[in-house]
Amino acid sequence: MRLKIVWAGILCVTVGWSMSLEETIRYALDHSTALQKSRHDIEISRIGREEKRLEKFGEINLVGDYTHYNTARTLAPLTPSVMQSGAMIPETRDLFSIGAAYSVDLFTGFARQRSVEISAISQTMSQARLKLGKEELIYNVRSIYLSLLALEHRAKAQRRYIASLESLKSQINDWIQAGKKAVIDRLKIENQIASARAVYEQLRSNIESLRASMGALIGKDPGRLRELSIRPVEGKLNLRSLAASIPALERIRLKDLAIKRSQKAVEKSQAAYYPRISLDAYGGKNMGRDEAHSLGFSDETIWQIGVHLRWKLFDFGRRNLSVQKARIEAMKAQIDREQAVRDLKKLLRQAIAKIRSARASWHQAKIQERLSVKTASIERARYESGAGTINDLLLAEAQRSIAKAQRIEGRYNYQKSLFYLDYILEKGIRP
């Protein structure tokens, strides 16, 4: 009776709503914090790309300074025409200046262009990581969902098993009072009931733990789970045909992008061999109190514009080392891609083997359950007639319970293995 009340309490917690597997996945995709971070990463990459693109326009700065000299200075440089004019020239020891300065790189050896291209590749890589994050999230949701279904079915089966033992105990009590059975039989079945209750409590604990994991993954309690239709897939899985899709997978595309980005980094490092050309312009006023002719506070307008060239001729080999390091990183990226292909082939082989093993285990578990049901029925009849012992009956009942649990686990493990193959092949996201 206590078990019925406890199980009813669990159902009351989740009876308010129910979610199918597809609904759970959609909710997870909309509310996953990991995916939200990935979307922010894409936006950060886009902003970084735009930031690099805008560098070609240079920058405008408001500049100003104050300098005190030990001797008076003119507000503007002296030119021959000014000196010959005979006009009074203001002089001051406290010189103020304020103006605007504009600077821009006209040529950077293509380093800026390579930076923009690298930023664009990084943005594409962020989008690829988002897709892979969705695939991983979908697989995790599916895996936990199936595990929860399996545990709930096992818990129901365990309750029925306990109820069966309780019914048998009641019959044994009647037989003891009638003098047909010994008291030791009741003690043995009570021990079996206690063990069954312990298994049931462990199942309940596992269910609550998985529900907590699902809640953390999708952002809320999944409620009551809906049953899935699980059927064996017809036909054989061909490793060669599945492996043919590896180059088109997002994991490999991500590695290809990493190779492309590293190649652009090599080109960017080679920009150090080219000259750099920049333009600088300034316009403003120099101001100060005249100390030579008592002209009061005076100012002069100053502006200038210039183009500068800087070409590094010798740096003791630093440029060569920088290019060499970038080329090594490019080679590493190529090796990473080759290893990723190998790892995916291994995972595909393991996934196919897992599907075959899970299907065989499920099939054998169904056979064992049918046989254990017949065995338990025979042992019960033998015990009631006095031809069998309580030990034989309890062993048969335990084996029947175990076989049922294995059949439940086998069914959901088979579907889980199919979902794992979908995860490897990136088929979790439906168009």
Q: Give the model confidence (pLDDT) of 146-178 as tens digits.
A: 999 999 999 999 999 999 999 989 988 988 888
Distance CA 396, CA 388 (A): 11
Distance CA 43, CA 49 (A): 10
Low-confidence ranges of the chain (pLDDT < 50): 1-15
85 within domain boundaries:
no
155 within domain boundaries:
yes
Helix (H) or strand (E) holding 272: none
CATH number for the domain harbouring residue 202: 1.20.1600.10
7 within domain boundaries:
no
431 within domain boundaries:
no
pLDDT tens-digit map of 221-248: 888 899 888 888 877 888 899 999 999 9
User: What pLDDT, on the 0 to 100 scale, is given for residue 81?
Assistant: 64
User: What pLDDT, on the 0 to 100 scale, is given for residue 388?
Assistant: 83
89 within domain boundaries:
no
223 within domain boundaries:
yes
User: What pLDDT, on the 0 to 100 scale, is given for residue 103?
Assistant: 96
pTM: 0.84
User: What pLDDT, on the 0 to 100 scale, is given for residue 429?
Assistant: 79
Longest dimension (CA), the chain: 142
Residue 379: CB partners within 8 Å, gap ≥ 6? 388, 392, 393, 395, 396, 397
Helix (H) or strand (E) holding 288: strand 276-289
Look at the chain and report how many structural domains it folds into. Answer: 1
17 within domain boundaries:
no
Q: 160 is in which domain, residue-wise?
A: 28-68+95-424
Residue 381: CB partners within 8 Å, gap ≥ 6? none
